[in-house]
Structure 1
Amino acid sequence: MNHQHDRALGALYGLAMGDALGMPTQIMSRASIVARFGTVTGFEPGPEDNPVSAGMPAGSVTDDTDQAVIVGRLLTGSGGRIEPLRLAHELLEWERAMKAKGSFDLLGPSTKAALEAVSRGVPPEEAGKAGATNGAAMRITPVGVAFPDTPLEPFLDRVAEACQVTHDTSIGIASAAAVAAAVSRGIDGGDLEDAFGAAVTAAAAGAERGHWVAGADIAARIGWAVELVRGLPERQALDRVCDLVGTSVASQESVPAAFAVLALAEGEPWRACLLAANLGGDCDTIGAIAGAIAGAVSGASGLPDEALATLRSVNGLDLEPLATALLALRAGTAE
């Protein structure tokens, strides 16, 4: 396996790992997690009193992984382009399938509102004009695998295309651009600081795209969140992330929170994902973002073998063909 393929697999499986570790503690407060688990140290089943993850086996992935795979499949099936209405259709079909299985892990607020608008006949370039939560950022990793982040403007075109139908806003695109650029820089061999730099640059440029919406600057908050936790003990750092950065579905909270746990874990994928799981809130998405970036930097060889085996067996995940197909797009872009 070459280094780039290892890193592509690391990004995809890292996303799934962070997602699955955060599954049981999503929508819980940090205090509730401490009271129930002490510290989350591995995959746990969904607690019966968690209205989103109740009954899910330990190691189960959620919408973060499912929707990232949808984006990846659309990219590889359409020569690297995402047709907005096709993405809308695929996401609606995914939600129908989840409802049929009795799942409560469904579409997020911005995505749901946008797809309802599309169903009413609103054109895709208008449907996502208010989407500022983290749905686009959580599923953008395949774009980072498929395309180099330099030159930046063509890369942002691909990010914006993936965002348009649900998160066509300055905040939605900036947050997705940050994640995709960090992943892409890792695929090309960058270290964690390279990934941070790429994320901030892409977020600043991405904020110039889409419909402007009010909210804190994603690039500035990523840089601030990273510095906020440097040198702190883990417990104090996690409390600070919850209290000051925030862990909600708002992009301005959860995306910087993911970069904060990456900094705290010094880019180590398993540790970053565990730290995210102990935050609570939208911690499956925070973990998925952190895991994707850490995995892109470290490669799948930096992920625990037991964790990979669990993800594959519990979810029937086989992400190798997707990684290969996404890298084929990347190779074509570079030619």
Structure 2
Amino acid sequence: MNLTRPATKQAATGSLIGLALGDALGFPTEFNDVPSILAKVGPWREMALPIRNGKAYVTDDTQMTLAFARGIRTAMDRGVLAPLRLARPVREEFVDWYHSPENNRAPGNTCLSACRLLDSDRPWQDASQIHSKGCGANMRVAPIGLVPGLSEEQRAGAAQLQSGLTHGHPTALAASDLTARAVYLLAQGVDPAGLVGQLRSYALDNRSRYHEHWLGDLWTRSQDPSALHFVQRGWDECLAVLERLDAVQRTADPELDPCEYTGDGWIAEEALATGLLCFLLFPDEPLTALRRAACTRGDSDSIAALAGAFAGAHLGADAWPKEWAESVEYRSDLLTFGALWDV
């Protein structure tokens, strides 16, 4: 596939800032149903970015995205991106996040349990929560879709490895791979109208591929009879939700809660699908996409974070109003990684 990323788009900056803005917009609405959200914020198309003490605060979604980004940077400073070279610094960054006093934004139990176990000398596969496919797996994966110069195997392997450090369920691995793939394709200039079809083709092509080089013997912690059975189980669940998304992406009513179509987003494959649906409903209206994602009954901050990552990868840094981008928490860190990976 020959794709050319527009030279001035700043897709990495746009995607990372978009992720954080979606996270901040959805932070106050998580755990609320739509009527409660509307009672608090008024019409969803007019939702304001929540500002406190001059800052739009984010959740663990953005914090862990930055932890993954730092791990990637450290690994690539040491040489070609490879499993052992990546696993150690990302593990260290996740453990640092776990111990940080700023880790007070309602993080998920899987991330907390796995990171507590990662803070030891055990193999990371023994810390992984093999039965968890929560959206913590893919809410943080966008950076690997933005790093230039990687092979498909590096991108897929790294996306699945970072998931596996905490969420070892095969659907979490596949959804993380697909999320990174979507960010990558949009950054490279793929037409959003054809994105779901490309993701379905990618899932079918990878349905029987277990990345042993990156995952080691992770699959043996499951109850699957083989690595093939393990990985196919994950891809098949992702294919099912992509089929639902494909069926509704052009006909969904934008005034209805997107969770009605593709799920509430607490699990990885639904976070991918519902985040994509919000983006695809408004591919050239990034703020409307974020607002729709934040005004949902489900895991609003993660759905909106992914919608923002997709919209920013597609439209670039100019997608976001200056006053929004300048107020987001961790702005300096986000811009640093954006500048590193914008090409």
Aligned ranges 1:256-271 → 2 under 5 Å: 256-271=273-288
CA deviation vs aligned residue, 1:40-90 (integer Å, no higher than 9, x gap)? 4234549xxxxxxxx887621211111111111111111145643443332
* Structure 1 Cα separation of the partners of residues 265 and 54 of structure 2: 24
Q: 1:289: how far off?
A: 0.7
Tell whether the 8 Å contact from 1:152 to 1:202 is kept in structure 2 after alignment. no
Q: 1:16: how far off?
A: 1.0
* Structure 1 Cα separation of the partners of residues 72 and 293 of structure 2: 28
* Structure 1 Cα separation of the partners of residues 209 and 170 of structure 2: 6
Tell whether the 8 Å contact from 1:226 to 1:263 is kept in structure 2 after alignment. no
Distance 1:61 1:226, change over 3 A: farther
Q: 1:208: how far off?
A: 4.6
Give the structure 2 partner of residue 220 of structure 1: 240
Aligned ranges 1:18-57 → 2 under 5 Å: 18-40=22-44, 41-45=46-50
Give the structure 1 partner of residue 169 of structure 2: 169
* Structure 1 Cα separation of the partners of residues 113 and 198 of structure 2: 31
- How many residues are matched? 311
Tell whether the 8 Å contact from 1:17 to 1:288 is kept in structure 2 after alignment. yes
Larger deviation: 162-171 or 227-236?
Answer: 227-236
CA deviation vs aligned residue, 1:248-302 (integer Å, no higher than 9, x gap)? 4212322211111112113532111110011132111101111101110111112
Q: 1:10: how far off?
A: 0.9
Identity of aligned residues (%): 25
* Structure 2 Cα separation of the partners of residues 316 and 6 of structure 1: 15
Distance 1:221 1:305, change over 3 A: same
* Structure 1 Cα separation of the partners of residues 302 and 202 of structure 2: 20
Aligned partner of residue 57 in structure 2, secondary structure: coil
Give the structure 2 partner of residue 71 of structure 1: 68
Distance 1:146 1:230, change over 3 A: same
User: Of 254, 258, 271, which residue of structure 2 is paired with 1:254?
Assistant: 271
* Structure 2 Cα separation of the partners of residues 286 and 133 of structure 1: 12
* Structure 1 Cα separation of the partners of residues 67 and 201 of structure 2: 27
Letter of the 2:253 counterpart: P
Distance 1:94 1:307, change over 3 A: same
User: Of 87, 93, 97, which residue of structure 1 is paired with 2:96?
Assistant: 93
* Structure 2 Cα separation of the partners of residues 304 and 327 of structure 1: 19
Tell whether the 8 Å contact from 1:16 to 1:61 is kept in structure 2 after alignment. yes
Letter of the 1:273 counterpart: L
Give the structure 2 partner of residue 188 of structure 1: 188
CA deviation vs aligned residue, 1:3-57 (integer Å, no higher than 9, x gap)? 36611111111111111111110111122212322334234549xxxxxxxx887
User: Of 276, 279, 294, which residue of structure 1 is paired with 2:293?
Assistant: 276
Give the structure 2 partner of residue 138 of structure 1: 139
Larger deviation: 197-206 or 136-145?
Answer: 197-206
Aligned partner of residue 235 in structure 1, secondary structure: coil
RMSD over aligned Cα, in angstroms?
A: 2.9
* Structure 1 Cα separation of the partners of residues 209 and 253 of structure 2: 36
* Structure 1 Cα separation of the partners of residues 20 and 207 of structure 2: 25
* Structure 2 Cα separation of the partners of residues 113 and 318 of structure 1: 26
Q: 1:147: how far off?
A: 4.6
Aligned partner of residue 139 in structure 1, secondary structure: coil
Give the structure 2 partner of residue 84 of structure 1: 87
After the TM superposition, which segments of 4 or more aligned residues of structure 1 sit over 4 Å from their partners? 55-58, 119-122, 213-216
Distance 1:207 1:304, change over 3 A: farther
- The gaps in structure 1 that reach 5 residues or longer are 47-54, 329-335
Distance 1:177 1:202, change over 3 A: farther
Give the structure 2 partner of residue 331 of structure 1: none
Aligned partner of residue 70 in structure 2, secondary structure: helix
Distance 1:16 1:207, change over 3 A: farther
Larger deviation: 16-25 or 76-85?
Answer: 76-85
* Structure 2 Cα separation of the partners of residues 208 and 175 of structure 1: 14
- The gaps in structure 2 that reach 5 residues or longer are 1-5, 211-217, 220-229
Larger deviation: 191-200 or 174-183?
Answer: 191-200
Aligned partner of residue 168 in structure 1, secondary structure: coil
Larger deviation: 282-291 or 153-162?
Answer: 153-162
2:336 equivalent to 1:321: yes
Distance 1:115 1:206, change over 3 A: farther
Q: 1:220: how far off?
A: 2.9
